[in-house]
DNA sequence: GTCTATATGCTGATAGAC
DNA sequence: GTCTATCAGCATATAGAC
């Protein structure tokens, strides 16, 4: 359902969200600026306010889009994984790559600042991401509480690898993204093994 | 060795670093502003430039101080730990508490932005932190490479727990810092067990 | 209804004169 | 150290063109 191609853009809203994601990828969440997103989209500084009443609204839209992209990446990583442990490890690697590419992950999608529960689209997108991971953890642990615990550990480890790589700590030991992704995958294998009660 | 108590402060430099750490704790690393640090210290906006040529220099000094405080917290956590696994777990919990309190940890101390290797004081302070953790990992694994791998996993997991708690993700499942610290400690126990080759 | 042009009012990083 | 600029970047508001 494309818009009527009225002005310079058929869909300025979507273009702004894309620009916002690019900006976040380059300079981080805090550096997102409505003015800069407008500049990159080739519109005037006031134009975004037809679509987003405030900077926070644009950030929420970007977070929602990020969650959709993340869920897709995680689902893709799950194809051709043989067992639950390897499935979990695959999502760890995919998550690291996602965060390194977009400079954002669960921290953006679930940022308290965005009140994700108050925004239906964002809340739903976040839930969709969790829905990809929860069945894997459940399969590994059997009961719901242990599954949540494992998932927390798994996500925390992957997120830590990603952000510490970005800030430069991990990269002084393993320079490439591939190494970092593999490191996170190994951590998740270890956590899965422990959760299975080995 | 106090300065000569010339103007309003005996030691403006130290006061500014403290103010910088407070600001970071309240609003995050990106929000550190020289002007605000000056305001809190009760001096004019230009005063800090007598001690720090640039905002980045103040940030480096704050990172150095943070590393010293972190090393002290980790050492304190190690007292009365019975075995290497519990020692590792204890540092995970202490690290989470530190990051939650200061809104900064390894990401600040080793931030590539700060070129920690080019700053002797910061580089040394960062090394001191690692020197607290390395022996524990070595005791667990026996060889250096596995120790580094374990340490990476351990730090990444603890850091992930802390920052995801801060952004609001973890806190929707476990509200208190204590729970989060314990979650990180458990993750490190699992990682240690796997590294020991269970 | 969607945008452009432009302005307001703020905050910050520095610079220079005292 | 102080004070007083300078200059930039941003969020957001408004007026009017299409």
pLDDT digits (tens, 9 = 90+) for A149-189: 999 999 999 999 999 999 999 988 877 999 999 999 999 99
In a domain, B24, yes or no: yes
The minimum CA-CA distance between B124 and chain A, rounded to whole Å, is 15
The number of folded domains in chain B is: 2
- Which positions on strand C lie below 7 Å from a protein C-beta? 2-7, 11-17
In a domain, A74, yes or no: yes
In a domain, B3, yes or no: no
In a domain, A87, yes or no: yes
Confirm or reject contact between A171 and chain B (CB < 8 A): yes
More confident residue, A14 or B5: A14
Assess whether B92 and B172 both reside in one domain. yes
Assess whether B43 and B65 both reside in one domain. no
Domain of residue B114, residue span: 60-195
A175 token code pair: 């320079």
The minimum CA-CA distance between A15 and chain B, rounded to whole Å, is 26
Q: Could you count the other beta carbons within 10 Å of the beta carbon of residue A83?
A: 12
In a domain, A2, yes or no: no
In a domain, B2, yes or no: no
Q: What is the pLDDT of residues B96-144, one digit of tens each?
A: 999 999 999 999 999 999 999 899 999 999 999 999 999 999 999 999 9
Assess whether B37 and B130 both reside in one domain. no
Assess whether B105 and B157 both reside in one domain. yes
Closest residue, by C-alpha, to the C1' of D14: A46
The minimum CA-CA distance between A4 and chain B, rounded to whole Å, is 39
In a domain, B83, yes or no: yes
Residue at which a domain ends, from B38, B53, B68: B53
Output the domain CATH number for residue A175.
1.10.357.10
Residue B78 has pLDDT above 60, yes or no: yes
Instruction: Please provide residue B8's backbone torsions phi and psi, each rounded to the nearest 5 degrees.
Output: -65, -30
CB A65 within 8 A of CB A17: yes
Q: Which is nearest to A131 in space by CA: A68, A80, A86?
A: A68
Which residues on chain A are in Cβ contact (under 8 Å) with B158?
156, 160
Low pLDDT (below 70) residues in chain A: 1-9, 198
For testing the chain A interface, which of B32, B146, B156 should be mutated: the one with the most A CBs within 10 Å? B156
With CA atoms as reference, the chain A residue closest to B194 would be A190
In a domain, A28, yes or no: no
């Amino acid at each position: 359902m494309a818009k009527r191609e009225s002005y310079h853009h058929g869909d300025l809203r979507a273009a702004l969200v894309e620009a916002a994601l690019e900006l976040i990828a380059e300079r981080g969440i805090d550096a997102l600026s409505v003015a800069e997103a407008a500049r990159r989209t080739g519109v005037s500084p006031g134009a975004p306010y037809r679509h987003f009443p405030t900077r926070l609204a644009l950030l929420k839209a970007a977070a929602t889009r990020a969650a959709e992209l993340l869920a897709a990446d995680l689902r893709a990583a799950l194809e051709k994984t043989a067992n639950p442990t390897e499935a979990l490890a695959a999502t760890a690697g995919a998550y690291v790559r996602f965060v390194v590419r977009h400079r954002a992950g669960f921290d953006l999608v679930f940022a308290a600042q965005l009140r994700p529960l108050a925004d239906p689209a964002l809340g739903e997108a976040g839930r969709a991401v969790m829905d990809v991971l929860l069945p894997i953890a459940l399969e590994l642990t059997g009961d719901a509480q242990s599954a949540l615990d494992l998932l927390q550990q798994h996500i925390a480890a992957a997120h830590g690898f990603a952000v510490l790589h970005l800030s430069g700590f991990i990269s002084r030991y393993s320079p490439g993204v591939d190494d970092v992704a593999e490191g996170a995958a190994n951590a998740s294998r270890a956590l899965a093994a422990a959760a299975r009660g080995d």
